């Protein structure tokens, strides 16, 4: 039997509710199979840790993660700590430190979920957004001087390397190639950003030459927002820079019904380091501690985690359980217009996983 080492980093806010729910799903799954099990190690990093130690995670925290098979993450954000400290001190530190350069965000309208687009059928919206996750606008290069004086100046440099752009575009072309439509849209802004984004476009054309079976096009990021709303079926796989994809994927999550449903994978494709899986939403302090958090985004992230481990059958079973539960309006949390609690949704998904195992055993 295989044993997977899983790090749990709930972080802040509703992360502390949805990550334990995700663990329950993984434990339920492990109880239904003889082929793998999980060993969990939980890390109490985040805002509370910062209040005690002045850091979001220990300086050598990455060492504790390096040997894991995967990381399940909640969120980083605290009303009393500036956002740039919580983000850079935890999530970005892990993503950049473990070279998780491909951030992958699937978006679909699940059965039973009412998306806000009137003319969009569920089959019209089936996207995967690939976000460059280690450089670009989030390079952290820049500074401030003359602080507080009238001549104050501040810079944030968007830094793109040929190696960084090549690897993310190659990853996106490969992913597009693996999907039935073999369709990739490369998001750009090379009309206004006339250096790095022009290099991005040139590299896209160079990489595309190695993927003759992938149909690809280029779209300006502003035009892409309108296209997502007006012609969702014209998109399939989408690749964009760190900031552009950050914004487009929140729009994508909203168009699919709720921020509470959408998952993310932060992938180190070469598998030198563990990859990290997390719901796309943040810490949502307005609903924290009330049992209102939708755990589906975390469960879908668990599906991505299982796929990354190569446990495809288990991933399919969790996804089927999610779809089964999403299709029942009585099991919708408040963000979806319902009254169900985090626990009720978690119990229902776990029960469905257990039931599908009993059925498949009975058929065997």
Q: What residues line the site for ligand ATP (CB under 6 A)?
A: 14, 75, 77, 83, 259-260, 281-287, 293-294, 297, 333, 335
Complete DSSP assignment for 22-34 = HHHHHHHHHHT-S
As measured in angstroms, the least distance from the Cβ of 288 to ligand ATP is 9
- In the complex, the smallest distance separating the C-beta of residue 332 from ligand ATP, rounded to whole angstroms, is 10
Pick the closest to residue 295 from 7, 26, 87, 48 (CA basis).
26
Nearer to ligand ATP, 83 or 152 (CB): 83
Nearer to ligand ATP, 284 or 319 (CB): 284
β pairing state of 102-108 and 263-267:
antiparallel
Least distance to ligand ATP from the beta carbon of 113, Å?
13
Which two three-digit tokens encode residue 209? 């030459």
Please tell me the total number of residues recorded for the chain in this structure.
364
Which is nearer to ligand ATP, 10 or 77 (by Cβ)?
A: 77
> Among all residues, whose Cβ is closest to ligand ATP?
282
| Cα 212 to Cα 88: distance, rounded to the nearest angstrom | 39
DSSP characters for 78-92? BTTB-HHHHIIIIIH
**Minimum Å distance from CB 11 to ligand ATP?**
9
Cβ proximity to ligand ATP, 89 vs 269, nearer residue: 89
Q: Using the minimum distance from each CB to ligand ATP, give the nearer residue, 78 or 352.
A: 78
Closest approach, Cβ 81 to ligand ATP, in A, equals: 11
Q: List beta partners, residue 31.
A: none
User: What's the min distance (Å) between Cβ of 251 and ligand ATP?
Assistant: 13
Q: Enumerate the H helices of 221-295 as residue ranges.
A: 221-230, 242-255
Instruction: Report how far residue 61's alpha carbon sits from residue 77's, in angstroms, rounded to the nearest whole number.
Output: 18
Q: Please, are residues 21 and 300 in contact by the beta-carbon 8 Å criterion?
A: no
Measuring CA to CA, how many Å separate 197 from each of 119, 176, 241, 247? Answer: 33, 21, 9, 17
Q: Which residues of 231-253 are buried (b: 16+ CB within 10 A; e: fewer)?
A: ebeebbbbbbbbbbbbebbeebb
Helix (H) or strand (E) holding 4: strand 2-11
Nearer Cβ to ligand ATP, position 168 or 296?
A: 296
Residue holding tokens 């699919």? Answer: 256
CB-nearer residue toward ligand ATP: 14 or 184: 14
| Distance in Å, CB of 72 to ligand ATP, minimum | 15
Q: Which two tokens stand for residue 121?
A: 């059928």
By C-alpha distance, which of 25, 15, 111 is closest to 317? Answer: 25
Q: How far is the CB of 179 from ligand ATP (least distance, A)?
A: 27
By C-beta, is 77 or 106 nearer to ligand ATP? 77
Least distance CB 104 / ligand ATP (angstroms): 18
Specify the residue, 287 or 331, whose C-beta has the smaller distance to ligand ATP. Answer: 287
Q: CA 294 to CA 343: how far, in whole Å? A: 9
For the record, the structure tokens of 243 come out as 């900031």
């Amino acid at each position: 039997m295989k044993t997977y080492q899983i790090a749990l980093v709930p972080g802040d806010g509703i992360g502390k509710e949805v990550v334990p729910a995700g663990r329950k799903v993984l434990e339920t799954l492990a109880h239904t199979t003889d082929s793998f099990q999980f060993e969990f190690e939980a890390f109490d990093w985040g805002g509370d840790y910062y209040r005690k130690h002045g850091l979001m995670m220990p300086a050598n925290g990455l060492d504790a993660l390096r040997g894991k098979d995967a990381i399940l993450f909640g969120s980083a954000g605290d009303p009393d700590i500036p956002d740039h400290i919580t983000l850079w001190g935890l999530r970005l530190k892990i993503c950049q430190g473990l070279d998780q350069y491909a951030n992958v965000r699937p978006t679909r309208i699940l059965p039973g979920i009412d998306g806000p687009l009137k003319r969009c059928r569920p089959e019209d919206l089936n996207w995967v957004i690939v976000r460059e996750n280690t450089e670009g606008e989030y390079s952290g290069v820049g500074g401030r001087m003359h602080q507080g004086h009238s001549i104050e100046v501040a810079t944030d440099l968007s830094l793109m390397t040929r190696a960084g752009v090549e690897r993310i575009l190659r990853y996106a072309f490969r992913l597009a190639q693996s999907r039935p439509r073999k369709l990739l849209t490369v998001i750009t802004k090379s009309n206004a950003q006339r250096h790095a984004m022009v290099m991005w476009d040139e590299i896209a054309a160079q990489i595309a030459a190695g993927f003759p079976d992938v149909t690809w096009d280029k779209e300006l990021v502003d035009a892409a927002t309108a296209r997502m709303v007006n012609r969702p079926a014209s998109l399939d796989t989408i690749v964009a820079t760190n900031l552009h994809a950050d914004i487009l994927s929140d729009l994508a999550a909203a168009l699919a019904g709720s921020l509470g449903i959408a998952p993310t994978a932060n992938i180190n494709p070469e598998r030198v380091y563990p990859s990290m899986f997390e719901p796309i939403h943040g810490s949502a302090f307005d609903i924290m501690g009330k049992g209102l958090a939708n755990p589906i985004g975390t469960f879908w992230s668990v599906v991505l985690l299982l796929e990354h481990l190569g446990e495809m059958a288990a991933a399919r079973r969790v996804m089927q359980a999610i779809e089964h539960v999403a299709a029942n309006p009585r099991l919708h949390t408040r963000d979806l217009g319902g009254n169900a609690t985090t626990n009720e949704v978690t119990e229902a998904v776990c029960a469905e996983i257990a039931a599908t195992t009993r059925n498949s055993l009975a058929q065997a």
